[in-house]
Amino acid sequence: MAEHKILLTEAELPTHWYNVIPDLPSPPAPYVGPDGAPVPPEAMQAIFPPGIIEQEVSQERWIAIPEPVREALALWRPSPLYRALNLEKALGTPAKIYYKYEGVSPSGSHKPNSAVAQAYYNQQAGIKRLTTETGAGQWGSSLALAGQMFGLEVRIYMVKVSYEQKPFRRSMMETWGGEVIPSPSSLTETGKAALAKDPDNPGSLGLAISEAVEEAAGRADTNYALGSVLNHVLLHQTIIGQETKAALAKVGDYPDVVLAPCGGGSNVGGMMFPFLADKAAGKDIRLVAVEPSSCPTLTRGHYAYDYGDSAGHTPIMKMYTLGHDFMPPGIHAGGLRYHGDSALVSQLYDKGILEAVAVPQIATFQAGVEFARAEGIIPAPESCHSVRGAIDEALRAKEEGKEKTILFTLSGHGHFDMAAYDKYFAGELEDFEYPADAIDQALHNLPKVGT
């Protein structure tokens, strides 16, 4: 009888992170300043500890995971790989479906995988406080947890609409000792300027990043931590793909197609990078990022140099972008609303090594509900994107009468995001194709470098 769960022991927790940089077809484009000159790694010292800066630019393929980080990870890892037997039956598909479930972490998503590593390297560097931003609340709660584990204070700038709509996310961060500030706030120059322009500014992820970076850059005892996009974050998440490969090997299986939700790219990198060497060696495997059609960064954005935040405090990175001044449509409930994407994921997508699809939000929540009714777990709205992608693959297999093996990342559970499901059940969600003229307009506001 096929089993629902494939489990690894704690001793099988990976010992190294996999760094994709030495295996890229060409070196990544350097981060640059507004003058177009490359930003030297030392310039990041104002906000990141040396261990993290090293990883951001490392050429080493395998980087050892420090023992205290492995111990922290072992609280919830290795995470289970599930065979979605009930969903397969419900869909009547000949395909096999596997999902790696990252919702078993204390904060309910994959994000603590990087949060504990970042907290560790900051503690090692003598840093006392971390600042960060959070939108839906997953990253903020993960960093609050990690800060608690490694003895650091954590201040979280939370996008104001989310702060008001998700009081329990705030309680969660406070339970782990985090301090939560609605953004824009009057604690930073960026926040004050935004409030002066519009006192009712609902906030955005880009704006909250600007506030957190501004504070960290201005205080010696404080650093900044980012939950996605940057190379070191994707590096930390590669334990997901490594564990998945080890678990699949136990049952003698291998995927034909791998899907992950894509906002800033840490699930995509974390799950897919460990499969790239096999693909380069000739394995016939498709790697597909799934994003919302209302924030279609990879499928419709420009591959260009852009800022990582709305105020232009961060270095300029070559990435797929909708423009750093992108504001997600108010109707969008499914997360994954960042304007850009990881430079590494962008580069691999540009080369055709990774694929991407955009899915409309009603169908996305429909897939989440279908999944919950078959498998029990209620997916986070972000995770519903990869569920949608996987169900579409399984239905195509059924139509074509083909057996194939589908693997996806179920990046978290949705227990704190039921308001989004409420909107879906109440019929309040609309599908929204991000307008082409807004995408063209974004081109005009990109920094004029590196072209």
Residue 111's alpha-carbon distances to 41, 137, 318, 410, in angstroms, are 24, 11, 24, 12
Which one, 155 or 236, has the nearer CB to ligand PLP?
Answer: 236
Which one, 96 or 337, has the nearer CB to ligand PLP?
Answer: 337
336 binds ligand PLP (CB under 6 A): yes
361 binds ligand PLP (CB under 6 A): no
**Within 194-213, which residues bind ligand PLP (CB under 6 A)?**
none
Which one, 162 or 383, has the nearer CB to ligand PLP?
Answer: 383
**Near ligand PLP by CB under 6 A: residue from 210, 347, 383, 405:** 383
261 binds ligand PLP (CB under 6 A): yes
Which one, 93 or 409, has the nearer CB to ligand PLP?
Answer: 409
**Near ligand PLP by CB under 6 A: residue from 184, 203, 264, 296:** 264
308 binds ligand PLP (CB under 6 A): no
How far apart, in whole angstroms, are the C-alpha atoms of residue 56 and residue 49?
11
Q: Which stretch binds ligand PLP (CB under 6 A): 12-20, 64-72, 246-254, 375-383?
A: 375-383
Query: Cis omega (within 30 of 0) on the bond before 78?
Result: yes
Which one, 222 or 411, has the nearer CB to ligand PLP?
Answer: 411
- Name the residue type at position 341: D
The torsion of the CA quartet 228, 229, 235, 238, rounded to 10 degrees, works out to 70
Smallest separation (angstroms) from ligand PLP to the CB of 164: 19
# residues contacting ligand PLP (CB under 6 A): 17
Smallest separation (angstroms) from ligand PLP to the CB of 50: 24
Other CB atoms within 10 A of residue 59 CB: 8
Helices of type H across 176-330? 189-197, 205-217, 231-250, 266-280, 297-300
* Site map (CB under 6 A) of ligand PLP, residues 83-112, x = contact: --------------------------x-x-
Smallest separation (angstroms) from ligand PLP to the CB of 92: 28
Reference 287, options 305, 302, 275; nearest CA is: 275
Residue 81's alpha-carbon distances to 239, 251, 389, in angstroms, are 13, 11, 18
Smallest separation (angstroms) from ligand PLP to the CB of 262: 5
244 binds ligand PLP (CB under 6 A): no
Q: What is the 3-state secondary structure (H, E, C) of 21-34?
A: HHHCCCCCCCCECC
> φ and ψ at 106, to 5 degrees?
-55, -35
**Near ligand PLP by CB under 6 A: residue from 181, 380, 387, 391:** 380
HSE-up of 237 (CA within 13 Å, CB side)? Answer: 28
Q: Which stretch binds ligand PLP (CB under 6 A): 185-193, 205-213, 263-271, 298-306?
A: 263-271
The torsion of the CA quartet 173, 338, 428, 386, rounded to 10 degrees, works out to -90
Which residue in the shown chain puts its C-beta closest to ligand PLP?
Answer: 412
412 binds ligand PLP (CB under 6 A): yes
**Within 223-242, which residues bind ligand PLP (CB under 6 A)?**
228
Residue 325's alpha-carbon distances to 230, 306, 441, in angstroms, are 19, 10, 10
Reference 365, options 381, 377, 376; nearest CA is: 381
Task: Fill in the DSSP letter of residue 413.
Answer: B
**Near ligand PLP by CB under 6 A: residue from 123, 231, 267, 314:** 267
Which one, 267 or 405, has the nearer CB to ligand PLP?
Answer: 267
> φ and ψ at 212, to 5 degrees?
-65, -40
Q: Which stretch binds ligand PLP (CB under 6 A): 92-100, 158-166, 177-185, 258-266?
A: 258-266
Residues near ligand PLP (CB under 6 A) are: 109, 111, 138, 228, 261-267, 336, 380, 382-383, 411-412
